[in-house]
Every structure is written in structure tokens, then in C-alpha cells.
């Protein structure tokens, strides 16, 4: 394999900042350098202690692509433990070679390292077993890609909590709206997506009474509780200060209500070191097909302020508050003001 060709492939792959585009570029890079039947990139999706495997992109040797799997269709995704090679790859953080599970041939599964461990896998299926030199080349290329991802994380994540930061929110929101509403497998599904604003109650008093060091610890622990409450495919942000945002993708109204209230109770019942009890107020709203980020956040904020005004430690749905007459739709001004 010519060195210029390898360098060109790496340069093309690491030119992407979008994670979905990067997954495709990695598969294309490996497929262009090896003789393989298929090259597939998988992402690990967690829900509590359960891990599932979602196919991000799969390229055949004729260049055709297999479709992606719905990250939120959790129950229909294969379990990590369903394939011994997958399980060993993730546990050992190392390449696993074995017979291809279908169609004969051999496969090699490489770990894709991310924040906090293995976040995905690259699977290569070929007629013959991969040679040591090829495996070493792919490992080195993936290490470069992982370093690229680490640099992206540095610019896109909050340095204290590790959650996504505010500047990545609009891009994430735009991708959510641009994506097809449903996969072909379930065209009749009507589950919407939701946006929630979460605010720690009386956080200023935590800093005033215990100091900013304990205040930062509260933020870290709240972020950890948010992570453990929601699915791996949901998008979690720290907006700054004591405010967090969650984009909950594809959930029925009852499911969204249960998820946000489960978080509220988890924080309420948690014993924060030195500080003791901490509560949060939550406002959330349905994401509409032609929504814009500012309008969506504003609706969630109105539900949040209702919770704050009525005793805090509450979770409220904006649409339900409208139905009950507890909130009114704000009138938008149509005239143009000249300054």
C-alpha cells in the first residue's frame, strides 16, 4: 500500500467534524485500503447496565451502503453480548479475529476508543484472515482518528462535567430536524422528540454556604445523574452555570414525563457530600417539525419558570400547562422595528 495513498485517506477522514460523517469516512478509508467484503462501523449505545450495538455505516466491496440503525430503537438493537467477538473486543480493548458469523470468511473487530472507554467498533469481513501488517496499519489509523475525536471533544464538551457544551446545541438541534422523521421499519410511529431545561434550585446558596469547590461537585454529580437517567442516544448539554438541557429523542408523552420526573426524584433522593439535599426544577416541550432552537428553549423555559414560581422541585410539560390554562401562548410581534 502506497504511503501517499494512506496519508490522503487519513487526511480525508480527519477533515470531518460531524461524528456521523466521520463514521462514514472511517469506513470508506479502511475499505479503500483493504480487500474486504464489508467494512462496518458500530456505535455502542447504553441504557443503564445494558449495552446494544447500532450499525452506523456498512460498506460492501462494490461500494454500496447498508442503512443505519435507529439509535433509539433500543429493544431491536442486538446486545453487545450476543456476539463473542464484540464482547471480547470491548472488554479487552483489543482486536479480535474469528470466523465471520454468516457467509463464510473471516472477520476482524477493532475497538474504537472514546471518552471513558470503547465507544464503538470497526468490523472488517474478508475472504481471508487479516495479515498482521494490515491489522497493525488499521490499528494505527484508528488511533489517529481517536486522537482527532479527542480534540473534537475538547472543543465541544464542557470542561467540568464532560457534557456537550452550549455551542454544539444548534448543530445537534438542526441535525435532529433534518433527519427523516421515522425509519422505514416503523413508518407509523408518531413519538415526538422533546427538549428539557433543567435548573438546580437555590444553587447560589450552595456556593455561598459551602464554597465554589462544593458547588462544582454538585454540578458534577448532577451531570452524572443526568447521564445515568437517559439513554446513550439522547443528547445532554450543560448550558452554563447551573442550567442543563436534554434532547430526548422519540418518546411518547408518558415516556418523556416519566423520564424527566425520574431524574427529578433521583436528584432529590441523592445525598450530596457536605451539601446534603439538592433539588432541580424542569421544564420541557415537544420539538416541532419546523422548530428553531431559540423558540423551543423559550417554551421549555416558560414551563421551568412555572415550576420555580410554584415551589420548585417540579417537572412540567409546556403543552400540558397550555391545555390546563396555566400558561398562555406569547404573542409574537409581526412589525419590523427600525433603529
Residues involved in catalysis: 242
Exposure of 128 by Cβ count < 10 A (0-12 exposed, 13-18 middle, 19+ buried)? exposed
Residue 186: closest CA among 40, 72, 110, 273: 72
Helix or strand holding residue 317 (H, E): strand 315-317
Q: How far apart are CA 100 and CA 85, in angstroms?
A: 10
Helix or strand holding residue 195 (H, E): strand 193-200
CA 317 from centre of chain: 23
Q: Let me know: does 89 contact 96? Beta carbons within 8 Å.
A: yes
Place of cell 391545555: 323
Q: How far apart are CA 76 and CA 69, in angstroms?
A: 9
Exposure of 324 by Cβ count < 10 A (0-12 exposed, 13-18 middle, 19+ buried)? exposed
Q: Which residues contact 233 (CB under 8 A, 6 or more apart)?
A: 45, 71, 72, 74, 249
Amino acid at each position: 500500500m502506497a504511503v501517499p495513498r494512506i496519508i490522503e485517506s487519513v487526511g480525508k477522514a480527519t477533515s470531518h467534524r460531524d461524528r456521523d460523517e466521520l463514521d462514514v469516512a472511517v469506513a470508506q478509508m479502511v475499505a479503500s485500503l483493504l480487500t474486504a467484503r464489508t467494512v462496518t462501523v458500530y456505535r455502542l449505545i447504553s441504557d443503564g447496565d445494558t449495552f446494544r450495538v447500532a450499525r452506523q455505516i456498512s460498506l460492501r466491496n462494490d461500494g454500496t451502503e447498508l442503512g443505519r440503525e435507529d439509535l433509539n430503537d433500543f429493544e431491536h438493537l442486538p446486545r453487545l453480548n450476543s456476539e463473542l467477538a464484540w464482547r471480547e473486543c470491548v472488554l479487552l480493548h483489543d482486536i479480535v479475529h474469528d470466523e465471520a458469523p454468516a457467509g463464510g470468511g473471516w472477520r476482524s473487530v477493532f475497538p474504537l476508543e472514546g471518552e471513558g472507554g470503547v465507544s464503538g467498533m470497526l468490523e472488517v469481513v474478508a475472504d481471508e484472515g487479516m495479515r498482521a501488517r494490515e491489522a497493525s496499519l488499521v490499528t494505527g489509523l484508528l488511533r489517529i482518528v481517536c486522537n482527532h475525536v479527542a480534540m473534537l471533544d475538547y472543543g465541544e464538551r464542557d470542561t467540568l462535567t464532560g457534557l456537550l457544551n452550549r455551542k454544539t446545541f444548534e448543530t445537534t438541534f438542526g441535525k435532529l430536524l433534518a433527519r427523516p422523521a421515522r425509519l422505514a421499519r416503523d413508518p407509523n410511529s408518531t413519538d415526538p422528540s422533546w427538549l428539557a431545561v433543567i435548573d438546580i434550585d437555590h444553587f447560589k446558596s450552595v456556593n455561598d454556604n459551602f464554597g465554589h469547590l462544593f458547588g462544582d461537585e454538585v454540578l458534577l454529580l448532577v451531570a452524572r445523574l443526568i447521564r445515568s437517567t437517559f439513554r446513550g442516544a439522547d443528547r445532554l448539554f450543560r448550558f452554563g452555570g447551573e442550567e442543563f438541557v436534554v434532547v430526548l429523542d422519540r418518546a411518547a408523552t408518558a415516556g418523556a414525563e416519566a423520564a424527566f420526573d425520574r431524574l427529578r426524584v433521583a436528584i432529590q433522593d441523592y445525598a450530596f457530600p457536605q451539601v446534603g439535599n439538592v433539588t432541580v426544577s424542569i421544564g420541557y416541550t415537544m420539538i416541532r417539525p419546523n422548530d428553531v432552537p431559540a423558540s423551543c428553549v423559550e417554551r421549555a423555559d416558560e414551563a421551568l419558570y412555572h415550576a420555580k414560581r410554584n415551589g420548585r422541585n417540579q417537572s412540567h410539560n409546556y403543552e400540558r400547562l397550555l391545555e390546563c390554562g396555566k400558561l398562555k401562548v406569547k404573542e409574537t410581534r409581526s412589525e419590523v422595528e427600525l433603529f
